[in-house]
A and B are shown apart, each in its own frame.
Chain A
Amino acid sequence: MLLYALQRTGLAILICITSMVMLFSALKLIPGDPATIMLGARASAEMKARITEELGLNDPIPVQLATFFGRILQGNLGTDMWSQRPVTQIVLDNLPYTLVLIAAGLGWAALIGIPLGCYSAIRRNSFIDKFTAVISVGTISIPSFVVAIYLILFFAIELGWLPVIGAGERGDYLDQAVHLIMPAFALGLGWVGYLSRIVRASMLEVMGENHIRTARAFGLPEYRIVKSYALRIAILPTITLLAVAIGGLLSSAVFVEAIFARPGIGKLIVDAANMRNFPVVQGGVLTTVALFALAMPISDILIAWLDPRVRATL
């Protein structure tokens, strides 16, 4: 079990390292002065000189790469040349907002999508099943930024019920929650359909397995068979799916944060990209890559922990 966890984490770290090397070599491969590329044409000569010095841009490339890794290992993502603040600090300030948004979006999607999928599997071909099938294809395919903009138009502009901008007053949890409603709805909408489809498919498969027949042969009540015998197994594929989908969620979060002017990693990267502020973009990107890369081993380990069949093979 421990070995398995280490293997999976090792692969994730390898992927992170490769991604960093790719980012690093992208900078070197682009023709032109790296300092100008990193900070954009508007940067002053002084800023360019400072970044050249800080990143050792005049050193030989292997030395630069070593320094680059050394600093990241120490948790130092560099300095934002425009605000003079450490990038690590900026990222850490923004990260919780994104995590809360993703958790809220997935949370409501799971709360609706999983029971819906379950119900659709048990009452196959019922009206709710067919309705869910059509609606889920629709919600999965419509881009989240279109949903977000329409939500704003309807609930904030036309009806004036919900606030448009920001994440709410610091410390005022109610205000923050109200500000979270629309972004979380936009982010999660596609996931309602997605989760219900996955749960439906795997539920149908599990309900046909022999052990369900055994449970019935012992006269267990049907709700109990569904809840403790089938759903426990049918839910497992969604965990892997969620890990794979973290990337898509982060992408959607970028739009949602940009549209609702909500602080977070996504908005941070968009703003920095618009200013061509590469150190901040790089810090944000490395954080999201790390989140994504770590989600895989975490889900693998979680499944090994939840599924005795996998555990027995380790």
Chain B
Amino acid sequence: MQLSEAVLPAAPGALTLFRRRLARDPLAMLGLTLVAIVVFCGIFAPWIVPYDPFKLSIPDKLQPPSLTHWFGTDNLGRDIFSRIIMGSRIALSVGISTIGIALCIGISLGLIAGYGPRWLDNFLMLLFDSVYSFPTVIMGLTVATLLGASVTTLMFVVILVQTPAYARLTRTATLSLKNSEYVQAIRSLGASPFRIIAVHILPNVVGPLLIIASMDIPSVVALEAGLTYLGMGIPPPAPSWGRILQEGYNLIREAPWMVVAGGIPLIITTLGFTFLGESLRDMLDPRLRRIV
């Protein structure tokens, strides 16, 4: 692995490659645009919403979409468009923070499993396999039954579900690096395990994992919305997309615009991140394949 790296000709920078790819690939461009819209809404939500997403206004309840209320209003007279914009904040913050925490835990456990003693590796792998054998939503429902539905529960579930995947990838990469001639040579020179992990293994693992993790954002966003829809996630009145869908579903005959509006941001987010992620992965595939 190290050899091939040495032989590789000086490649153009990742950014240049990315820009070139975007220009050629309309889907990647579409993905980038959609992601940019969602991220923009997430960051600037409080300043760009046309109405207060929490303000009740019973006289305006269940208004169909119009020029004043683009996506109509819900049964409490709240402006749905504003709630959806605000919802991107929840979706992104839950998604990014949980994936970040899961990455940290997963990488640590993966390094331990890959570099540590054999029995510990076997034990951790069994544990990962067992966690993995709970279907994600069902795991979420179980934890919610035990702990009660709350944002903390939701985040705990997502972290629990995502960690084994990252730990497994880290472990595989660590094992192959550990047995590479180059690390063996360093070890024979007397480098401490800590130094080998920190200097020679970790940097090789983190990059590809970050890409893989960023591709998990849409599924985590969907999981959050889904669990909230089932009543296990973020409690009202927070304008989670899953909540808007659930409230809309109860009024699907009276106010069909609510479910339509609730689904659109989920479709935009998942499509955007997936299209972008796909072409990112295509671009970086040889590297990903080599390390994972």
- Interface residues of chain A, those whose CB is within 8 Å of chain B, are 14-16, 18-19, 22-23, 26-27, 30, 37, 134, 137-138, 140-143, 145-146, 149-150, 152-153, 157-158, 246-248, 250-251, 254-255, 258-259, 266, 269-270, 272-274, 276-278, 281-282, 284-285, 288-289, 292-293
CB distance from A7 to the nearest CB of B (A): 14
Tell whether, in the assembled complex, residue B230 and residue A270 are in contact, meaning their CB atoms are under 8 Å apart. Answer: yes
Q: Is B134 an interface residue (CB 8 A)?
A: yes
Q: How many angstroms between the C-alpha atoms of A269 and B132 in the bound complex?
A: 18
Tell whether, in the assembled complex, residue B146 and residue A278 are in contact, meaning their CB atoms are under 8 Å apart. Answer: yes
Q: What 3 A-B pairs have minimum CB-CB distances, sorted nearest first?
A: A141-B274, A18-B130, A251-B137
Tell whether, in the assembled complex, residue B252 and residue A153 are in contact, meaning their CB atoms are under 8 Å apart. Answer: yes
CB distance from A129 to the nearest CB of B (A): 14
Tell whether, in the assembled complex, residue A157 and residue B141 are in contact, meaning their CB atoms are under 8 Å apart. Answer: no
In the complex, which of the residues A14, A150, A272 contacts B126, with contact meaning CB atoms closer than 8 Å?
Answer: A14
Q: Is B151 an interface residue (CB 8 A)?
A: no
* 12 CB-based A-B contacts, threshold 8 Å: A15-B130, A143-B270, A146-B267, A150-B260, A153-B256, A254-B138, A254-B141, A255-B137, A255-B226, A258-B230, A285-B142, A288-B134
Q: How many pairs of residues, A versus B, come closer than 8 Å at their CB atoms?
A: 136
Q: Is B27 an interface residue (CB 8 A)?
A: yes
Apart from A143-B270, A146-B245, A272-B145, list 16 A-B contacts with CB within 8 A: A18-B130, A19-B134, A22-B131, A142-B271, A143-B222, A143-B225, A152-B252, A250-B137, A251-B135, A254-B135, A254-B137, A266-B138, A269-B138, A274-B231, A282-B142, A285-B142
Q: Which residues of B contact A288 (CB under 8 A)?
A: 134-135, 138
Q: How many angstroms between the C-alpha atoms of A25 and B59 in the bound complex?
A: 51
Q: Which residues of B contact A134 (CB under 8 A)?
A: 27
Tell whether, in the assembled complex, residue A150 and residue B229 are in contact, meaning their CB atoms are under 8 Å apart. Answer: no
Tell whether, in the assembled complex, residue A153 and residue B135 are in contact, meaning their CB atoms are under 8 Å apart. Answer: no
Q: How many angstroms between the C-alpha atoms of A312 and B258 in the bound complex?
A: 58
Q: Is B249 an interface residue (CB 8 A)?
A: yes
- Please provide the chain B residues from 256 to 292 with a CB less than 8 Å away from any CB of chain A in the complex: 256, 259-260, 262-263, 266-267, 270-271, 273-275, 278
Q: Which residues of B contact A293 (CB under 8 A)?
A: 133
CB distance from A223 to the nearest CB of B (A): 31
Tell whether, in the assembled complex, residue B226 and residue A143 are in contact, meaning their CB atoms are under 8 Å apart. Answer: yes
Q: Which residues of B contact A250 (CB under 8 A)?
A: 135, 137-138
Q: Which residues of A contact B137 (CB under 8 A)?
A: 250-251, 254-255, 266
Q: Which residues of A contact B132 (CB under 8 A)?
A: 247
In the complex, which of the residues A15, A255, A269, A278 contacts B229, with contact meaning CB atoms closer than 8 Å?
Answer: A255
CB distance from B75 to the nearest CB of A (A): 17
Tell whether, in the assembled complex, residue B245 and residue A149 are in contact, meaning their CB atoms are under 8 Å apart. Answer: yes
Which chain A residue lies CB-closest to B129?
A: A15
Q: Is B87 an interface residue (CB 8 A)?
A: no
Q: Which residues of B contact A259 (CB under 8 A)?
A: 249
In the complex, which of the residues A15, A152, A153, A285 contacts B138, with contact meaning CB atoms closer than 8 Å?
Answer: A285
Q: How many angstroms between the C-alpha atoms of A134 and B274 in the bound complex?
A: 11
Which chain B residue lies CB-closest to A274?
A: B231
Tell whether, in the assembled complex, residue B146 and residue A37 are in contact, meaning their CB atoms are under 8 Å apart. Answer: yes
Q: How many angstroms between the C-alpha atoms of A274 and B229 in the bound complex?
A: 12
Given known A141-B270, A143-B225, A270-B230, contact A149–B263 (CB-CB < 8 A): yes
Q: Is B147 an interface residue (CB 8 A)?
A: yes
Q: Which residues of B contact A141 (CB under 8 A)?
A: 218, 270-271, 273-274
- Please provide the chain B residues from 209 to 242 with a CB less than 8 Å away from any CB of chain A in the complex: 218, 222, 225-226, 229-232
